[in-house]
Amino acid sequence: MSSDRSLIDRTATEIVKLLKSEKISCHDLLDTLEARIGQVDGDINALPTLCFERARKSADDLMAKPVGERGVLAGLPVPIKDLSEVSGVRTTYGSPIFADFVPETSNIAVQRLEREGGVIYAKSNTPEFGSGGNTFNEVFGPTLNPWDVTRSCAGSSGGAAAALASGTAWVAHGSDTGGSLRNPASFCSVVGLRPTPGRVARTPTRMIDDALGVQGPMARNVSDVALMLDAMTGIDVGDPMSLPKPAEGFVSALRSGKKPKKVAFSRDFGITAVDPEVARICEEAAHQFERAGVIVEEATPDFEDAHEIFQTLRALNYAVSYSNLLKDHRHKLKPEIIWNTEKGLNLSAEDIVNAQQARTKLFHRVTEFFQSYDLLLSPATIVAAYPIEQRYVEECNGHKFDNYVEWLAIAYALTIVSSPAISLPAGFTAENLPIGLQLAGPARGEAQVLKGARVLEEILGISAIVPIDPRKNS
């Protein structure tokens, strides 16, 4: 078959069915992707590192197995975010310090994807060490938003989101600490899910019990995210936080068609400024649940101390992760990483104790909240895609933020309580820029979140708009 442009518009679920029926092969998909990347990626820079030779060898090895032994993905190509190691493939973490690093061993998350029939063909661009909500670095430069190439695709899984939106991926691997799966999904009109910590096993690279950072799936629709999550889950002895696969898979859970009974919507969680147009679009999208008989009320848990909790624990994480690099390579680190690492090194024991105690109390408040509501809805990001030249959002609706992280509060409030949260395409601004609606549930409630998102996705009817050819609006 070779390259077939029509395959680009198919969903991942459809592609996997074709693979399992052997109507197409993984080689057909790789040829199609290579051609598509050649056509559009020069305009957006989503996938700066390609490894098609490795991918074709992996495809040969996979196709030598019986169809029933080719895993959940059965040969579906997958790009890996450039924060996670892929054996034999250049992995830079977006940092000049590691510009020429080629690991011998893949991250546990990558190993699992390959065992489940994922074929790795590219690394997706990311900001330096995933730091900040705009995907640019000194190694590969910026990734541009396919909806408007003068705009940011957010971060840190920006390359993954841009690849999905532009048709150079059917599903994508990403990671999330302060919204890095959700913010790019919102900016690019795709779907990104932050799972509960431990749901996706990964090689510990920072603190062994890090519950802020997770890895997870992105795709163009909810069903494909569920498919990808099924391929990513499972316990691994290399990750002491990893959880076993749930008794029912996530694709299977979606088939129930079960909808939530009552959901809450909040424009801002009471802790952040939000662009009025973004708030309006998200509120209108949330109330579309009512068409399915779902009760929608305005409510939120008390997130008042979320800023202090997240900023403290994130700084601690940075101190553990980057203090040695700060000592040896300070001149190669971007200012935001230096600031965050030094903030962590200057924390007192009392600062850390207070943050941990406050986090536990907040977790209990949120857990109690989910006794009354099935889901908590909000904007996934507080603004639409901003100009690519901006490093981050400095102010919104008259409020000036204290630092480069604070504008992400509507995402990181859910990070610190271990809630699974998804960004679902919700609509477009007057400038035709995408807006995502965030849906969150209780810890380990990924199936609950996915089912609710699928119900709303069918009502809104937006997900099928992608992929698109990169464009410039102005």
Three-class SS state of 431: coil
Average pLDDT over residues 301-310: 98
Question: Which alpha helices (H) appear in 191-268, and where do they start and end?
Answer: 222-232, 250-254
- Domains present along the chain, CATH in parentheses: 5-465 (3.90.1300.10)
Percent of the chain clearing pLDDT 70 (strictly above): 100
Residue 414's pLDDT band (cuts 50, 70, 90): very high
Cβ neighbour number for residue 428 with a 10 Å cutoff? 16
DSSP code per residue over 366-430: HHHHTTT-SEEEEESSSS-PPBTT-SS--EETTEEPSSSSGGGHHHHHHHTTT--EEEEEEEE-T
Average pLDDT over residues 240-268: 96
Q: What are phi and psi of 288, to 5 degrees?
A: -65, -20
Average pLDDT over residues 2-28: 96
- Assess contact for 440 and 376: CB atoms under 8 A: yes
Q: Which residue among 58, 106, 166, 180 is the active-site one?
A: 180
The answer to whether residue 123 is catalytic is: no
The tens digit of pLDDT for each residue in 214-241 reads: 999 999 999 999 999 999 999 999 999 9
Q: What is the helix (H) or strand (E) element at residue 343, kind and residue range?
A: helix 335-345
The answer to whether residue 124 is catalytic is: no
DSSP code per residue over 67-81: GGGSTTTTT-EEEEE
Which residues are 375's β-sheet partners?
263
Q: What is the C-alpha separation between 95 and 328, in angstroms, rounded?
A: 14
The tens digit of pLDDT for each residue in 63-103 reads: 999 999 999 999 999 999 999 999 999 999 999 999 999 99
Question: Which alpha helices (H) appear in 106-148, and where do they start and end?
Answer: 108-115
Q: What is the C-alpha separation between 390 and 5, in angstroms, rounded?
A: 35
Three-class SS state of 457: helix
Average pLDDT over residues 314-335: 97
Average pLDDT over residues 148-168: 98
Residues 6+ apart with CB under 8 A from 214: 175, 176, 177, 194, 195, 196, 197, 199, 200, 202
Residue 206's pLDDT band (cuts 50, 70, 90): confident
Residue 474's pLDDT band (cuts 50, 70, 90): low
Q: Sign (positive/negative) of CA torsion 290, 294, 300, 306?
A: negative
Q: Which residue among 156, 157, 175, 419 is the active-site one?
A: 156
Q: What is the helix (H) or strand (E) element at residue 449, kind and residue range?
A: helix 446-460
Q: What b/e sequence results for 110-128 when a residue is b if at least 16 CB atoms lie within 10 Å of its CB, and e otherwise?
A: bbbbbebbbbbbbbbbbbb
The answer to whether residue 400 is catalytic is: no
Q: What b/e sequence results for 166-178 when a residue is b if at least 16 CB atoms lie within 10 Å of its CB, and e otherwise?
A: bbbbbbbbbbbbb
pLDDT at 128 over 60: yes
Q: What is the mean pLDDT of the chain?
A: 97
The tens digit of pLDDT for each residue in 18-53 reads: 999 999 999 999 999 999 999 999 999 999 999 999
Average pLDDT over residues 107-114: 98
The pair of three-digit structure tokens given for residue 227, joined into one six-digit string: 């498919």
Residue 455's pLDDT band (cuts 50, 70, 90): very high
pLDDT at 2 over 90: no
The predicted pLDDT at position 95 comes to 98
DSSP code per residue over 85-117: --TTS---TT-GGGTT---SS--HHHHHHHHTT
The predicted pLDDT at position 1 comes to 56
DSSP state, residue 196: P
The predicted pLDDT at position 22 comes to 97
Q: What is the C-alpha separation between 283 and 267, in angstroms, rounded?
A: 7
Average pLDDT over residues 109-120: 98
Average pLDDT over residues 105-118: 98
Average pLDDT over residues 361-369: 98
The predicted pLDDT at position 19 comes to 98
Strand order in the sheet with 421-428: 171-176, 214-219, 191-194, 421-428, 434-440, 375-379, 262-265, 295-298
User: What spatial distance separates the first Cα and last Cα of the chain, rounded to whole Å?
Assistant: 39
Percent of the chain clearing pLDDT 90 (strictly above): 98
Q: Sign (positive/negative) of CA torsion 301, 340, 102, 202?
A: negative
